[in-house]
Amino acid sequence: MLPPPDIEAAVQSEYNGVVKKGTREAYERFIRRHPDHPLAEKAREALAKGGLK
């Protein structure tokens, strides 16, 4: 039997992809998918700072 997936690692990996992509749309999509995750707050901060593609 396989161990359950590491959800935190998956969300972190998704966030890393968002940062790499660096677009407003990517950050907004992440926030919609994970609105209560602590990384969503980091995504909101990045949106507030601006300077995204």
28-45: pLDDT as tens digits: 999 999 999 999 999 999
pTM here?
Answer: 0.87
CA distance 1 to 11: 23
Half-sphere exposure of 33 (CA within 13 A, CB side): 14
CA distance 5 to 42: 23
Signed CA dihedral, 20, 33, 43, 10: sign only: negative
Half-sphere exposure of 19 (CA within 13 A, CB side): 12
Radius of gyration of the chain (CA): 12
| Average confidence score pLDDT of the chain | 93
